[in-house]
Amino acid sequence: MTSACRTIHTMACLLFGLVGMSASSVSFAMHANAGALAEQSQYVCDSVSAGRAIDYETHFSAEFKKAVPKAALDSILAKVRRQYGPCQGWYFKQKRNDHSGRILTRHAKNKELRFSLAVDPSTSVITGLMALGEANRVPQFSSLKQAANAWQALVRAHAPAEEPQPDTGKESANAIASLLISTGKNDLLAINPEAKHALGSAFKLWVLMALDEKIRHGELHWHTEVPIKEHYKSLPSGEMHKLPEGTLVSIKQLAQNMISISDNTATDHLIHLLGRKNIEQFLLTHRLTRFDNQPLLTTRELFLIRAMYSDKQAGRWQQGNRREREKMLTNLPALNLSALLLKLAYWRQPKHIQRIEWFASPREMCNSLLRFEQTASATAKAILALNTPLLPVEQEPLAYAGFKGGSEPGVLQLNYLLKPARGEPYCVVMGLNNTQKLIDENAAFGTAEGLLKVFLESIGQPNNSEKSSRARKRGKS
């Protein structure tokens, strides 16, 4: 249930859009003005500067203006300006192509803010603008081992005290970090690779895989349109909950939104389209059943559970069989999204994350990614590659990069499929679970970015695979 944007310190999360055209759906014309993204990046910087008026009509698409009124945009930019000061400059953090990318804006006291930006390939107006929070402080690691130690330290620093706990029916104290970098045959790095982890939205990889299998078998088609249904809508992240009931959306667009912006409404429509039990059978076929994911929850169901379940009810779920759990799901209230959002207003701490969630071990997620690389269609691979955060702009050692992560209070999961230009593909699976305390996501993202950097540097070196193989034989990996 990854949020599409991150809290900027004490300020509410700034979600400007990704309306009309999102990074997941735009078909970019390569012959169009290549400088449009840079020009609009400068405009975003200027808009945050004091005394600069927003030329709203000229710079934004009709769809954006319909979704985000000028007064709302003025208010949000004013809050950014008050907290961080005017923009002093900007640069590209990740440029997907000539019309979509991520920028960093520089502010006083060496602060930097991250923005995702998309422009129309023909008119050059802004179609999507999203504030992603303060930029991570990226540590510089000299080795993968040093990066791995830093990743483990993220939970050691925030782990609850390991003291005997009376049986109160509450979830036991537990904090764990996991890390697996592997080709499937050889592990370059493995920390708690078999441990049970709550995944958050990372489970959506399985939905994409099950969908792609149905399409490859001719049972469904990417271009088939399905109607948006009110009772399938879920809370953000995402945009599709805003669509009127009956709006026709292609299966491909649902899948693109599910992966690129972790759209929960798109995910739930695909789960209902495929059938819950069919996805469970897919997991069974691919030996992804070691941890309890039955019945496979929709995101809406998990939101309702987080809003409604007491510790006692969570315990009943954990101890219940499938029939008992299905009855519990049937008894969940049919709240509309506004009422559900109110119920979740105070959900700010980890809640039942080791009892009710989507679960896998790092090894299982790695196997899923590597199986995807072997079997997925070109369309599915393009979808998984739509949003690859934290990777450097220039990914010279890589022929392919795909990603699906997930988060909720107490959960952070970052799963990458990375294929070097030469050699075997790797999974890079990073997980953090803490049942008692929030995860420091800024520190985690910075550590993950530094880890990815040192990993890519290592696979870009000549004869690295031979060195890694020799190291493993010596027991030093």
Nearest to 103 by CA among 57, 13, 59, 39: 39
For residue range 52-85, what is the model confidence (pLDDT) as tens digits?
667 788 899 888 887 788 888 888 888 888 888 8
Q: How confident is the model at residue 467 (pLDDT cuts 50, 70, 90)?
A: very low
State pLDDT tens for residues 409-466: 999 999 999 999 888 999 999 999 999 999 988 889 989 999 999 999 998 754 443 3
How far is residue 155's CA from residue 176's CA, in Å, rounded to a whole number?
6
The separation between the first and the last C-alpha atoms of the chain, rounded to the nearest angstrom, is 33
* Spatial distance between the Cα atoms of 173 and 241, rounded to a whole number of angstroms: 35
Please check the confidence at residue 222 and state whether its pLDDT lies above 80: yes
Instruction: Parse the chain into domains and list their residue ranges.
Output: 36-134, 136-477
Render pLDDT for 272-308 as a digit per residue (tens, 0 to 9).
999 999 999 999 998 887 778 999 999 999 999 999 9
Assigned token pair, 125: 């107006």
- Which of left, alpha, beta for 35 (phi over 0: left; psi -120 to 50: alpha)? alpha
Using pLDDT thresholds of 50, 70 and 90, give the confidence band for residue 226: very high
Element (H, E) at 207: helix 204-216
**Can you tell me the distance from the alpha carbon of 112 to that of 107, in angstroms, rounded to the nearest whole number?**
6
Is the predicted pLDDT of residue 13 greater than 60, yes or no?
no
Phi, psi of 314 (to 5 degrees): -65, -40
What phi-psi label fits residue 310: left (phi over 0), alpha (psi between -120 and 50 degrees) or beta?
Answer: beta
CATH fold of 136-477: Beta-lactamase (3.40.710)
Q: Would you say residue 348 has pLDDT above 90?
A: no
Q: Is the dihedral of CA 234, 240, 241, 244 positive or negative?
A: negative
Asked: is 36-134 a CATH 3.10.450.280 domain? The reply is yes
Domains 36-134 and 136-477 alike in fold: no
Strand segments (E) across 67-111 = 89-97, 100-106
Per-residue pLDDT reduced to its tens digit, 200-216: 999 999 999 999 999 99
Higher pLDDT among residues 63 and 401, named by residue: 401
Write down the pTM of the prediction. 0.76
| Dihedral (CA of 360, 362, 367, 370) sign | positive
148-203 residue pLDDT tens? 999 999 987 654 433 333 333 454 558 999 999 999 999 999 999 999 999 999 99
